[in-house]
């Protein structure tokens, strides 16, 4: 089930020389949605500081469908796709409010890591269990 992870407004300073929102602001909004999403499962600043853990994006694919302009209000919903011992794969979908038009999507893979040793490490069992319960795998239309 998707979670609402971001709501924001496109400000005039977000507009580039092409007259629409620049890609750096899509990335910023998706990044904010990522941290809100992770915090829903206990992966927040407190957890990371007290446990010497972090999350790092190792893959991100963004698809742009429609342009955004000053004054547009957007909402991002995030859906968990897959959890492994050390990684989380999820997708953000950005929609224009109130129309619901899909503007862009961004699929990411994040790795859980030990900040002291700078290497990947397993997600805690409790967090992995909560994430696994929330996962909604993508349906492949080519599979019987």
Reference 76, options 55, 64, 91; nearest CA is 91
Q: Is 23 contained in some domain?
A: yes
Residue 25 has pLDDT above 60, yes or no: yes
- Considering the domain boundaries, does residue 140 fall inside one? no
- Identify whether 7 is part of a domain: yes
| Residue 138 pLDDT greater than 90, yes or no | no
Percent of the chain with pLDDT over 70: 94
CATH number at residue 116: 3.10.129.10
pLDDT value at residue 142:
47
With respect to residue 51, please indicate whether it lies within any of the assigned structural domains. yes
The boundaries of the domain holding residue 128 are 3-134
Does the predicted TM-score (pTM) go above 0.75? yes
Structural domains counted in the chain = 1
Q: Is residue 33 in some structural domain? A: yes
Task: Give domain status of residue 142, yes or no.
Answer: no
**What is the dihedral angle through the alpha carbons of 34, 38, 40, 43, rounded to the nearest 10 degrees?**
-150
Q: What pLDDT, on a 0 to 100 scale, did the predictor assign at position 135?
A: 80
Bridge partners, residue 21, by sequence: 15
Query: Is residue 115 exposed (0-12), middle (13-18) or buried (19+ Cβ within 10 Å)?
Result: middle
Q: What mean pLDDT, rounded, does the chain reach?
A: 94
Whether 69 is covered by a domain: the verdict is yes
- Nearest alpha-carbon partner for 115 in 36, 45, 46, 51: 51
- Give the 3-state secondary structure of residue 143: coil
Tell me the pLDDT tens digit for each residue of 70-124.
999 999 999 999 999 999 999 999 999 999 999 999 999 999 999 999 999 999 9
């Amino acid at each position: 089930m998707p979670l609402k992870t971001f709501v924001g407004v496109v400000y005039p300073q977000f507009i580039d020389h092409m007259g629409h929102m620049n890609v750096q602001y899509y990335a910023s909004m998706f990044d904010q949605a990522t941290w809100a999403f992770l915090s829903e499962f206990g992966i927040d600043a407190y957890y990371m500081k007290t446990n010497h853990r972090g999350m790092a994006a190792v893959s991100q694919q963004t698809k742009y469908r429609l342009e955004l302009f000053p004054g547009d209000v957007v909402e991002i919903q995030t859906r968990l796709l897959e959890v492994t011992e050390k990684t989380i794969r999820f997708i953000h979908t950005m929609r224009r409010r109130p129309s619901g038009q899909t503007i862009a999507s961004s699929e990411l893979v994040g790795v859980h890591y030990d900040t002291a040793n700078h290497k990947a490490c397993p997600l805690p069992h409790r967090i992995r269990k909560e994430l696994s319960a929330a996962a909604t795998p993508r349906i492949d239309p080519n599979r019987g």
